[in-house]
Amino acid sequence: MATPDHRRFKDSIYEQFARLGKALSAPKRLELLDLLTQGPRTVEALAEQAALSIANASKHLQVLRAARLVDAEKKGLYVEYRVAGEDVARFFVALRGLAESRLAEVEQVSRTYLEQRGALERLLRSGGLEPVEGDELLRRVRSGDVTVLDVRPVEEYRAAHVPGAISIPIDQLRARLKELPKNREIVAYCRGPYCVMAIEAVQLLQKKGFTARRMEQGVVDWRARGFRVERGEP
């Protein structure tokens, strides 16, 4: 039979574990954490990208900070947030993978969205939705057989990107098509499997006569596989 001290110890330990569960129990906090795995951001930028008011974004970030999942740093007039460590990013990838393997609704929601956009049929027909695995992409990059295109915002590219990737944010792609070669396959990536920027990029590129495919893995997935990333300006 457990002694009172033993019981208090067990209760205290699991109470600490539960802090993480409570911090991640809101969908918007998960989205904010996902955005922060791409690179540091201010509250204002996070609020805009997550469709939140600045006040609500700040409240969610305080909960994540209290659970030691994110850190904050004052920079001039703004407060910049970042994930508290690489282990947090790996934890998020593992959580997403667990949801994908245990919850059929994840795939159903994704497929319904793509079908409604009319993207699924076109990309399946062209092969653009076929995922390109990280190690296969790495092989192609090293051999010079493929052009890797990062369509995320420039600040995310600066924070970390796939080695050799070209930075053209999705909102600039149409105007900068001349910067891309037509004689090599282009593999576009963004923030991971549930980011639609790479899908939009592949659709546009194929429409303009490029050979293009989408990579499901983002930089966070790339690092989780143990692959090297680069940092710095485009």
**DSSP strands (E only) in the chain:** 41-42, 70-75, 78-83, 146-150, 166-167, 185-189, 212-214
Of 190, 212, 215, 224, which residue is the catalytic one?
190
- Partners of 212 in the β-ladder: 186
List of residues 6+ apart from 229 with CB closer than 8 A: 160, 161, 162, 163, 219, 222, 223
195 labelled catalytic = no
* 178 DSSP 8-state letter: G
Task: Encode 26-62: b = buried (16+ Cβ within 10 Å), e = exposed.
Answer: eeebbbbbbbbbbbbbbbebbbeebebeeeebbebbe
Q: Which two tokens stand for residue 199?
A: 């899908």
Q: Round to whole Å and give the CA distance between 194 and 129.
A: 12
Q: Known catalytic residues? A: 190
